[in-house]
Structure 1
Amino acid sequence: MALKPEPTAPLHSVQHALRVMETVSRHGGGVTDVQIARETGLPVGHLAPLLRMLCREGYVTQVADGAYMVGEALVRLGAGGPERQAAIEHKLQQTLTALRDSIGAAIYLSRYIDGEIRITQYADGPRTPKVNEWVDFKSAAHAMAAGKCMLTQLDHNGRRDHLSRHKIVRLTSHTTTSERVLFNKLDSHPASVPVLDLQEYAVGTVCAAVPITAGQAVGSLALSLPLAHAHRLRQAAHTLNREAAPVLLSLAI
């Protein structure tokens, strides 16, 4: 599977967060924010929101004297074998649930695995119903926000390979059915802007997705809203993009 060059801007905070966690891990007795800034080269002003996020996610904890130490979530993810995988899935589910509640939308984590789109985890609820899978998601990448988001991460040949196995078909009157038009849209889409689905997969549903790329793994974080809440879509997508770092961080550790 060939990938497009990885976008640089949106996910730098994850790289910085990994550097912070590495620094904290080296200091078993705790380390101050000043020392963390010195060792990572990050300004204290930039470091503060990172530390707040890491504390909120349980990767780092602040003790009585103000120093920072390794948190329980990072300890659990440091385990090996099945325990590690279970810890990752549990942490991701917690994060997806928190996003569902803060954004007020169903949230989905999707991965591109062995040439297929798979929704690996999701968080929905009575007030945030998930999309009705009336057509197999694997066959609908051209219409779904999550699918289009992952197609943007593949190069031209990768997209052609996918669509040779999953033909473009009309699902609603809003579905793009021309491969040329679809590829032009994917190529011109800014990497830092969420991909939208405005009733392209299902009438009555709108969606947004942002890329979640860890190493060579292609993925997306997406949300869905009923059409009655379409006026909230762009703000919800902006929040999803801003809050995607903890999801990527769980996958990158």
Structure 2
Amino acid sequence: MGAQDGPTLITSVQRALRLLEAVSAHENGAPAKQLARETELPLGTAYHLLRTLVHDGYVRKLGDGGFVLGDRLNSLHAAGNAQTLLSRVRPALAALRDELAGAVYLTLYEEGEIRVAEIVDGPRTPRVDLWVGFEDAGHATALGKSVLRELDEEGRREYLSRHHLADLTPRTITSLPELLRRIESPPLAPAVTDLEEYALGTVCVAVPVYRGDTLGSVGVSLPAERRTQLQEVRDRLVPLAIRVTRNLSLTI
């Protein structure tokens, strides 16, 4: 039975993809009979596959019986575009990783949260153990503080009103006035640092980037004993951020 299931499954996938292509050709929707005719599928098979696609959100059935592409497929398209943009900046991030011997991170501020979009590390440049999600640690990471620094005062306070300043290490800044003071006047501006505030034994420096109107940050983490090199890292990050912003903002 296993040998028969493979070809049958492949055929079903091929038919479903043909139906999706046919649906996408009709902006205002098309009925099942028309889609079956265009894809040269038996009407019963077309109905069955369309019901499955509707159930999974890839296709949506209109009130008049026509079928159009569903929100889930649109989400996949958006995700594909985002991956294409990220692929444009990975080589630059990887080159910086190799040059500075440190893991490189890219974050984006989306839907009110600071989220990791990409990490470029390696056997000799391991990433920081993200034991607390960035959504809950924006105040303790250079990447998060870089985003907060770029927000206007209202946006910054709105974010901080929704996020507790958790005490992650003995060095974490948990005083809101002190955090705001350090964000507004960092010694390595426009870079912001994390001096073992997220994880003991690790320091990080980050600068802002943009994807169109979406704010983000790019940063490098290093062992704490390399703290004296943060100025050098900052000087390499600033021009890199300009290239990353340019590539992330290109129209696909």
Please name the residue that 2:169 is paired with.
Answer: 172
Please name the residue that 1:49 is paired with.
Answer: none
- Is 1:240 aligned with 2:237? yes
Query: d(CA) in 1 for partners of 2:85 and 2:153?
Result: 32
- Shift in Å at residue 226 of structure 1? 1.3
2:119 to 119, 122, 144: 122
Identical-pair percentage: 41
- Is 1:223 aligned with 2:220? yes
Q: Taking structure 1 as reference, are residues 198 and 249 closer, same or farther at Cα in structure 2, changes over 3 Å only?
A: same
* CA RMSD after TM alignment: 2.1
Please name the residue that 2:249 is paired with.
Answer: 252
- Shift in Å at residue 244 of structure 1? 2.1
CA deviations 1:161-201 (Å, max 9, x no partner) are: 21222111211111111111111222224795310110011
User: In structure 2, what residue type is equivalent to 1:153?
Assistant: E
- Corresponding residue pairs, total: 174
Residues 196, 207 of structure 1: 8 Å contact kept: yes
Q: Taking structure 1 as reference, are residues 102 and 181 closer, same or farther at Cα in structure 2, changes over 3 Å only?
A: same
The unaligned stretches of length 5 or more in structure 1 are 1-79
Query: d(CA) in 2 for partners of 1:199 and 1:162?
Result: 22
Residues 150, 218 of structure 1: 8 Å contact kept: yes
Residues 188, 231 of structure 2: 8 Å contact kept: no
Q: Taking structure 1 as reference, are residues 84 and 158 closer, same or farther at Cα in structure 2, changes over 3 Å only?
A: closer
The unaligned stretches of length 5 or more in structure 2 are 1-76
1:140 to 113, 137, 141: 137
Residues 194, 238 of structure 1: 8 Å contact kept: no
Between Structure 1 and Structure 2, whose CA radius of gyration is higher?
A: 2
- Is 1:113 aligned with 2:110? yes
2:191 to 191, 194, 212: 194
Residues 148, 156 of structure 2: 8 Å contact kept: yes
Q: Taking structure 1 as reference, are residues 101 and 161 closer, same or farther at Cα in structure 2, changes over 3 Å only?
A: same
- Is 1:161 aligned with 2:158? yes
TM-score by length of 1: 0.63
- Is 1:205 aligned with 2:202? yes
CA deviations 1:130-151 (Å, max 9, x no partner) are: 1111212210111100000000
The equivalences for 1:9-48 within 5 A come to none
- Shift in Å at residue 236 of structure 1? 1.6
